[in-house]
């Protein structure tokens, strides 16, 4: 079976960061989603699609002044 990718958004100290969560077929989904500050989790068809969603969320947070790393740097979402 193939892996599933979930775009996630986390709220930390009043600021948002979006990343991609890799789910293997043998992973327990409830355990993987027990992330402090998790506010959104969208299942995507591919890793590329999940990265696109996470990047969009980061861009929106940055434009709204709510991005964890400020307005100067926009980091590429990581797969965790």
Domains of the chain by residue range: 4-63
Q: What is the mean pLDDT of residues 32-36?
A: 95
Q: How confident is the model at residue 9 (pLDDT cuts 50, 70, 90)?
A: very high
Residue 69 pLDDT greater than 70, yes or no: yes
Burial class (CB in 10 A: 0-12, 13-18, 19+), 77: buried
pLDDT at site 80: 65
Residue 71 pLDDT greater than 80, yes or no: no
Residue 75 pLDDT greater than 70, yes or no: no
Q: What is the pTM of this model?
A: 0.87
């Amino acid at each position: 079976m193939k892996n599933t990718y979930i775009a996630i958004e986390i709220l930390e100290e009043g600021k948002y960061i979006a990343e991609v969560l890799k789910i293997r077929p043998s992973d327990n989904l409830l355990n993987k989603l027990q992330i402090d500050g998790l506010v959104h989790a969208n299942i995507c068809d591919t890793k590329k699609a999940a990265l696109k969603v996470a990047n969009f969320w980061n861009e929106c947070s940055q434009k709204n002044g709510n991005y964890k790393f400020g307005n100067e740097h926009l980091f590429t979402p990581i797969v965790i």
